[in-house]
Structure 1
Amino acid sequence: MPEQDQPSRSLQPYANTASEIPIDEEFSIYNETLQSDTTSLASSVLNYEYENGRRYHKYGQAQYIMPNDEAEQDRLDLVHHMFSVMFNGELFLAPVENPQTILDLGTGTGIWAIDIAEYEFPFEKLLCKRIQLTICSQFPSAKVIGNDLSPIQPSWVPPNVEFVVDDFEDVWIHDQNYFDYVHARTISGCVQDWGRLMKQAYDHLKPRGYFECAEFVIDAFSDDGTFKQDSPYREYINNLNKAGEITGRPMNVATSLKTWMKNAGFENVTEVVYVIPYGPWPKDPKLKEIGKWQYVQAPEGVEAYGLRLYTQVLGWPESEAKLHQALVKQQLRDRSLHIYGKLYVVYGRKPGTE
C-alpha cells in the first residue's frame, strides 16, 4: 500500500508565523552583490529582444515575464545564496539518496545545477546517522541537466553538467522513468498548466524518484502593522496577481503546490514553509541573515517581475510603470518597516519499486 501523505511542517523558528518575529532595533543595511558568467551559443538562440530598457529571451513561442540581462543574473545568484542560507547549506530538502540523473527546470544562471554536480553528499542523508563525514567525491557519476529558455549559463562547468535551451512546458525530450530527481524553483508566472507540469515530472521520474518545487507566496505580511494596505507594495502585489490571471500564468501558486503534486500521483508529499524577512530587522540570527539577502534582492526583483506585466498586460505606459515601481523599491528599503514573505517548498515521491 502507498504510504500516507505527510502533513505540512514548518522549520522552527524560521517558519514560525504563529507569533510575532522579534525585531532587532540596531540592524544595519547589508549590501553585497554577486556576479555570474554568460555563455556564447548560436546567434539564433541569442536573438534577444529589448523592451523598457531590459533584455528578454526570444526563443520559440514561449512566454516569459522575466528579463535575462546581467542585472537579473546577479539577482538570481543572490536568491540562490539566500536559499542556501535558509536550507542550512543544503541544496534540496527531499530525502533523495545519491541521485544519478537530475533535472533542473528553468535553471537560470545554472548555479544550482553546478552546485548540485559538485555537491558533497552527507553520509547522514545516506545512512540516516548523525556523523559529520562527507563523501570525498561529489556526484561523479551523476548526470545533471539544466534547461532554460535563455542560454545565460557559464561555459566552464563540471563535466557532468549539461545545459539545454528548451521550454519545459513543451513535450519533454527525455525518456520516461529517467530521472532520480527533478528540481524547480521560482517559476511562478511562467507556467500555464501546473497540473500538466506535475504529470510530466511524474512520468519522467524513476519509481521512488522525487520532484521538489519551491515558490514564493506573492504577498507580504507584518506582525506590527507596518505594512499598510494602501501602500505602493500592496498595489504592486495586487497588480502582479491580476496580470497573472489575465495571462493564464498565475503568480501566487505556492499554497497550491501540495494539492497539485498529490493529484499527479506523488506520495509522501511534504510541505515546508519558510519566513523571509525584508531586511535584517529580526533578532533571530538566522532570520537576520536571510533578511540581509532579501533586502538586497527584493528591490531588484520589482522591475524583473513587474515591468513586462505592467506594460504588456496591464497597459501601463513605461514611464508610469517605472515611476510606480520606483516607489515600491523605496518602500522595500524603508528601515522602519517589518515586512516578511513566505516560501513554500513541496516535494513528493513517485510510487513504485526500483
Structure 2
Amino acid sequence: MTTEQLETELVPDETETVSSTQSLSCSIVDYRRENGRTYHRYKDGKYNLPNDGLEAERLNLQHHLFLLTFDDSLGLAPPNKAKSEVKRVLDLGTGTGIWAMDFGDEHPEAHPTFVPPNVEFFIDDTDEEWNHSAPFDYIHSRMMTSSIGNWPDYLKKIYDNLNPGGYVELQEADLFLSSDDATLHPTQPLPYCLKLMVYGWDRERVLLFLVDVRRELNDTGIHAYWPVYSIYARKPKV
C-alpha cells in the first residue's frame, strides 16, 4: 500500500527511520526462494506472485499497458485530471510504486516532503485493520483481483477511509483471455496456463509446457485480449 503525503508530524525522526529500515531489511527482505524466483516472506504464501526483478519488469510493463488503454491517463476518475487539487492519495497494491510516483509527479499540490518528492511507501495487509492517520481524497486500486479475500469488507474499508466527496477507482482485468473470432480456444496452452497451479506439475513438465505458451504469445494469428475495467465512485459530501 502507498500513501501520498503522510502528515508531517507522523513521520518518524532520523533515528527512528534508520531503525525501521534495518528492521525491514532483516525480516521482510528475507525472501522465500522457489524455482529460481523470490517471493514475499511477509504473510508467506498469501500473495502468490514473485517479487524479483523479472516481476518488477512485468509490473512496469503492465503499468504502461494501462496508460495505453486509458489514453496516457493514470485513471478515469476526476482526481486524475489536471488541477484536481487532491491532497491525500492511497494506492493499494502498489507493486513497484510506478503509479504512485507518476501520480505524485503530476500532482505537486500533494505537499512535497519525500521522494518523489511527495510519496511514501509502507508494507501492510489490506485484509487487516487499516490504521491511517487521516482519510484520503482519492483511493486507487489496480489488479487486486486475486489478492482480496473479502471484497465487501475491502470496499467498506475504502469507503471508511475516504473524505466526504472523495473518490475511489478500481482498475481490474479479467484473468482469462477472450477472443471474438475463435482464434483462441480454452484448451490451448495460452489460456490453459492459468490453471497449472492446481495440477501439481513438477518444474520440468511446467517448463516444457511453457514452450507452447510462448509460441502462442508470439502468434499474430491469435486475436486475444484481456477485458479491462475501470469503476470509480464518489463518497457523498454530506
Specify the alignment match of 1:351 in structure 2.
236
User: What pairs up with 1:108-257 in 2 under 5 angstroms?
Assistant: 108-119=95-106, 138-141=108-111, 157-175=115-133, 178-237=135-194, 239=195
User: 1:333 maps to which residue?
Assistant: 218
What is the CA RMSD across the aligned residues, in angstroms?
2.2
Alpha carbons 2:40, 2:51 under 8 Å: kept: yes
Using structure 1 for the length normalisation, give the TM-score. 0.56
Equivalence for 1:103: 90
What CA distance in whole angstroms lies between the structure 2 residues aligned with 1:339 and 1:232?
13
For residues 140 and 168 of structure 1, what CA distance do their matches in structure 2 show? 23
**Residues matched between the structures, number:** 213
- For the pair 1:68 / 2:51, whether they are aligned, the reply is yes
The TM-score, its normalising length taken from structure 2, stands at 0.82
Report percent identity of matched pairs.
39
Question: Where has structure 1 moved over 3 Å in runs of 4 or more?
Answer: none
Unaligned runs of 5+ in 1: 1-38, 121-137, 144-155, 240-305
2:208 is aligned to 323
Cα offsets for 1:107-132 (capped at 9, x unmatched): 11111111100115xxxxxxxxxxxx
Number of the residue aligned with 1:257: none
Alpha-carbon distance change, 103 to 140 in structure 1, aligned in 2, over 3 angstroms: closer
Aligned-partner Cα distance in 2 for 1:226–1:89: 29
Provide the C-alpha distance between the structure 2 equivalents of 1:62 and 1:167, rounded to a whole number of angstroms. 13
- Displacement of 1:206 in angstroms is 0.6
Shift of residue 52 of structure 1?
1.5
Q: Which residue of 2 aligns with 1:262?
A: none
1:99, 1:142 within 8 Å by CA — same for their partners in 2? no
* Cα distance change of structure 1 residues 195 and 325 upon mapping to structure 2, 3 Å threshold: farther
Runs of 5+ consecutive residues of structure 2 not aligned to the other structure: 1-20
| Cα 1:203/1:314, change in 2 over 3 Å | farther
TM-fit CA distance, 1:329: 2.2
Distance 1:142 1:209, change over 3 A: farther
Residues 118 and 139 of structure 1 are in contact (CA less than 8 Å); yes or no, is this contact kept in structure 2? no
Aligned with 1:88 (options 42, 50, 71) = 71
Residues in 2 aligned to 1:167 and 1:314: alpha-carbon distance in whole angstroms: 28
